[in-house]
A and B are shown apart, each in its own frame.
Chain A
Amino acid sequence: AQKVTQAQTEISVVEKEDVTLDCVYETRDTTYYLFWYKQPPSGELVFLIRRNSFDEQNEISGRYSWNFQKSTSSFNFTITASQVVDSAVYFCALAPGGSQGNLIFGKGTKLSVKP
Chain B
Amino acid sequence: DSGVTQTPKHLITATGQRVTLRCSPRSGDLSVYWYQQSLDQGLQFLIQYYNGEERAKGNILERFSAQQFPDLHSELNLSSLELGDSALYFCASSLLAGDTDTQYFGPGTRLTVL
Are A and B co-members of a single complex?
Answer: yes
Interface residues of A (CB under 8 A from B): 31-33, 35, 37, 43-47, 50, 52, 91, 93, 95-108
Q: How far is the CB of B95 from chain A (nearest CB, A)?
A: 10
CA–CA, A53 and B92, complex, Å: 22
Q: Of A43, A101, A107, which one neighbours B101 at CB under 8 angstroms? A: A101
Q: How far is the CB of B58 from chain A (nearest CB, A)?
A: 6
How many chain-B residues does the 8 Å CB contact rule pick out?
29
Q: How far is the CB of B67 from chain A (nearest CB, A)?
A: 17
CA–CA, A106 and B43, complex, Å: 8
**Contacting pair B42 A45 (CB below 8 A):** no
Classify the secondary structure of B's interface with A: strand
| Closest chain B residue to A97, Cβ basis | B99
CA–CA, A47 and B111, complex, Å: 23
Q: Of A33, A44, A52, which one neighbours B108 at CB under 8 angstroms? A: A44
Q: How far is the CB of B64 from chain A (nearest CB, A)?
A: 15
CA–CA, A98 and B101, complex, Å: 11
Q: Of B102, B107, B110, which one neighbours A50 at CB under 8 angstroms? A: B102
A50 surroundings in chain B (CB, below 8 A): 102
CA–CA, A99 and B31, complex, Å: 12
B106 surroundings in chain A (CB, below 8 A): 44
B110 surroundings in chain A (CB, below 8 A): 43
B94 surroundings in chain A (CB, below 8 A): 101
**Contacting pair B100 A33 (CB below 8 A):** yes
